[in-house]
Amino acid sequence: MNFSAWGSARARERAEVKEERKNMDQVKIKAEVRTEQGTGAVRRLRRQGLVPGSVMKMDKSGVELIKFSKHEFMMAMRGHTSKQLLVTLEMDGRDVPALMREVQNDVIAGTPIHADFSEVSLSQKVRVVVPVYLTGEPVGVKIGGGVLEQVLRSVEVECLPTDIAEKFDVDVTKLGLDQTLFVRDLKLGDKFTTVTRGELAVAVIKAPDDDGSAKPGAPAAAEAAKAPEVIKKGKEDAEAAKPEEKK
């Protein structure tokens, strides 16, 4: 057996798989410049299976109106969960790298009815909000019997458009009882600069009470203690306001 030829074939196969995965990750949307404006015109576009959208120019000199196929857009977005995603808009024979900023969906059908994009430079960093997902069973829950509470569900970071992450998976297996994971503790890698304040809590392991339930947070307990006074004060204000209402 020719091991050299076999090794070369395996290398080519791995390269092809890598390129195929890269192409799968790229989101390309065929779009056209839109001249239709106004409620009636936009409704007609949607009845034709098109989605109206807009692209903010990179120099913020203005907004370009676009339209694209709803079906093709939904197919391109399959498997992507992030609301802020790098896409390539294929317009008039040119590829425009853009950051998908917001997608509005039909309340009943759940299908896209409008999308906003911002043109970006692939060599300039942008700020995006990325969801945070906790993974693993914390030792404080498994052994200490505590309760894991996720306080912060997303963080704002700065990175190149090509490095935008759809989510951050954060391992909390080493988090012990009464311990807190802060934003400054997140290991996001060298590609990302955290914009969210480092002192903000991401997750905490709350200790259980004697009856086995988790302890309520101090702020929550304080608010609960104040509740009767707030209600009483509200009643007094209502009593005082009655004569004024009669006038």
SS3 at position 208: strand
> Which overall architecture, per CATH, does domain 3-120 show?
Beta Barrel (2.40)
- Would you say domain 127-218 falls under CATH 2.170.120.20? yes
DSSP E strand stretches across the chain: 28-33, 50-56, 63-69, 85-91, 94-105, 112-119, 126-135, 147-150, 154-159, 168-171, 180-182, 193-194, 201-206
- How confident is the model over 106-121, as a mean pLDDT? 94
Is the separation of the CB atoms in 37 and 54 below 8 Å? no
Q: What percent of the chain has pLDDT over 70?
A: 74
- 113 vs 9, which has greater pLDDT? 113
Q: Where are the domains of the chain?
A: 3-120, 127-218
Q: Which H or E element spans position 3?
A: helix 3-25
Is 88 in contact with 96 (CB distance < 8 Å)?
yes
The pLDDT value recorded for residue 8 is 53
162 DSSP assignment: G
Residue 221's pLDDT band (cuts 50, 70, 90): very low
Report whether 112 contacts 78 (CB < 8 A).
no
Rounded-to-integer distance, Cα 81 and Cα 47, Å? 26
For 177, other C-beta atoms within 10 Å of its C-beta total 17
Same topology, domains 3-120 and 127-218? Answer is no
Could you tell me if 105 and 111 are in contact, meaning their C-beta atoms sit under 8 angstroms apart? yes
- pLDDT-derived band at 211 (thresholds 50, 70, 90) equals low
Q: What is the pLDDT of residue 10?
A: 53
Tokens 């098109």 belong to residue: 50
Average pLDDT rounded to a whole number, residues 46-53 = 95
pLDDT recorded at residue 59? 77
User: What is the per-residue pLDDT for 230?
Assistant: 45
Q: Residue 99 and residue 158: Cα distance in Å, rounded?
A: 13
pLDDT at 12: 55
